[in-house]
Structure 1
Amino acid sequence: MTSISDAAKKFKLQRVSKDDEELLLIPNSPFYVVVKKGPVFRVRIGVDWDKMEEIAQEMIDEGEDKEDVLDVMDDLLDEALKIAYDVIKSLEREGKEVKSELTSSIMDIKDEMIDRLEYLEEVS
């Protein structure tokens, strides 16, 4: 088994292969881990924006505010990070060269998430 399939099994993730990428979908979360294969494996966090907005809209409809939604999304993002770090460690143990793109992907996600939540809150 590879470290990617080990992580999928360990965390009960759905694997989706797309060209030279493996997506590890996290149940009940808009976030997923992306592993781009090549001479250097690249690992980052991805997001299903439609799913994120759906979860956020449900929370707002139930009376939660933007801060509550951000807290929940941060928890879900932390879970995705934990899985991504596990994948990175496993790949490195297999002797693969790995480049983490976690910091930049998380910063991009957080910026976009705040913008989208502000918009959702305004239109609700």
Structure 2
Amino acid sequence: MLKQIISWNHRTIRDVKISDGSKQGTIQMTEKQVVELRKEMDKVVGLERTKVPAVTIKMWYVPVLELPESGGVMKGATLAVIRPTTVPVEKEDDVTLATGAFGEDFTAEAVRKLVHTNKSYTLEMNSF
């Protein structure tokens, strides 16, 4: 869908910011990134779907998460970890991946607490 939006037929689009209805997820592209994607699209005949590998999505949610080490509280704390389905995963691997993405500030404490909660949701998605 993004490729159709920024195709050469819509040359006036210079940068893109797309968010979901609740403004929780956002994709943003600068003018340079839009131009690069258009050039890549020229190499491919037509606008075809990008094939997505099978992935496993694991999600944790806590309505109120207290962070005693950093002295904060997070409301609606949510963490999603997305991996290829073919990769076996240990609980600590999720912590390592997520803390590597966010760094070692208060979010690392939140990641550790979320992953070690007993309730998580898992979804497997195959290529379409």
- Indicate the TM-score class for this superposition, using the shorter chain for normalisation: under 0.3
TM-score by length of 1: 0.27
Bigger CA radius of gyration? 2
TM-score by length of 2: 0.27
